[in-house]
Amino acid sequence: MEFLALAPRAGIRTTTTVYALERASEALTDLRAGRFRGAAVLVP
């Protein structure tokens, strides 16, 4: 938690793309195809 609080001050920007758990295969396809930057997050 401390790192996440300090990250913006250090110029670190996070990017996430949210997918419903049911769309996990789509998230993997998008990841392999380079359709997003950062991390994919699966939400149950």
Tell me, what's the pLDDT at 30?
A: 96
Q: What is the DSSP letter of 40?
A: E
Question: Cβ contacts of residue 19 below 8 Å, gap of 6+?
Answer: 26, 27, 40, 41, 42, 43
Residue-wise pLDDT for 2-44, tens only, equals 887 888 888 888 889 999 999 999 999 999 999 988 899 999 9
Structure tokens at 19: 């997918």
Torsion angles phi and psi, residue 14, rounded to 5:
-100, 145
Per the CB < 8 A criterion, the answer to whether 16 and 40 are in contact is yes
